[in-house]
Amino acid sequence: CRQALRRVAGPEVDFARAEREHQLYVGVLRGKLGLQVLELPADESLPDCVFVEDVAVVCEETALLTRPGAPSRRKEVESMKRVLESLNLNIVEMVDENATLDGGDVLFTGREFFVGLSRRTNQRGAEILADTFKDYAVSTVPVHDSLHLKSFCSMAGPNLIAIGSSEAAQKALK
């Protein structure tokens, strides 16, 4: 998408360079790692569509299609649903209009889920995730001063979560 939304102003994105880097990245995933890569078509009417993790949480054979916290993101779920259906996954849709969940707030450790409660994800969204993935424990983490839980933490290896040193990260850690 050429018109991606931004939180802060900055230099213009070099679209040609970004496209080259994307193709190299996909080439490594396919060629060197042997992974299957499914590419969704760009949609200029959905400037945040590059953040594909926000509209689905996939674990094993189940895909939970989320209800993004930003209403402008909700149309993105439709194209993700078509792609995930092509993989014959068990598709679960969030239909509760009181629930919101962004995949950027969901950290899966391999044994459990941590769900950030943020401006984009609420308690009801976390409950639906827990109902969908009943075999895993789900813990909620308050997220303040950041967009998503994974804005400041990520899995860094088996049994290892990397977390930033920012004030928001340290608040969440406590």
Domain-embedded: residue 98: yes
Domain-embedded: residue 14: no
pTM exceeds 0.85: yes
pLDDT of residue 165: 92
Burial code (b: 16+ CB inside 10 Å, e: under 16) for 24-62 equals eeeeeeeeeeeeeeeeeeeeeebbbbebbbbbbbbbeee
Give me the number of domains the chain comprises.
1
pLDDT of residue 5: 58
**DSSP state letter for 75:** T
Domain-embedded: residue 89: yes
Q: How far apart are CA 166 and CA 63, in angstroms?
A: 32
Q: How far apart are CA 103 and CA 131, in angstroms?
A: 16
Give the domain CATH number at 52.
3.75.10.10
Phi and psi (nearest 5°) for 106?
-115, 120
Domain-embedded: residue 149: yes
Domain-embedded: residue 78: yes
pLDDT in 10s for each residue of the chain, 174 residues: 555 555 667 788 788 998 999 999 999 999 999 999 988 888 888 877 778 889 999 999 999 999 999 898 899 899 899 999 999 999 999 999 999 999 999 999 999 999 999 999 999 999 999 999 999 999 999 998 888 999 999 999 999 999 999 988 888 877
Q: How many CB atoms lie within 10 A of CB 126?
A: 24
Which structural domain range is residue 115 located in?
A: 38-173
